[in-house]
Amino acid sequence: MPIVTIELTREGVTRQQKQELIKGATELISNVLNKDPGLTHVIIDEVDLDNWGVAGEQVSILRERGITADKK
């Protein structure tokens, strides 16, 4: 039973986008590992920006300053 965990910051990911992530991850596991899609579990964990850090700073503070992780 494969379990896939996707962690992302809580920044307005829509229900449809989450469905696409779940479907895509399930298909990937099925195609690459030949696992039964009915036994594949996908967990999406949305993390508050205050609880996510990059380069020693909270993402919430970086966003307030208009900085994204790739520009740090």
Active-site amino acid positions: 2
Asked: is 3-71 a CATH 3.30.70.20 domain? The reply is no
What average pLDDT does range 24-43 have in this prediction? Answer: 98
User: What is the reported pLDDT for 69?
Assistant: 62
| Length, in residues, of the chain | 72
Contacts of 40 (CB under 8 A, 6+ apart): 1, 2, 3, 4, 25, 26, 29, 30
User: What is the reported pLDDT for 13?
Assistant: 95
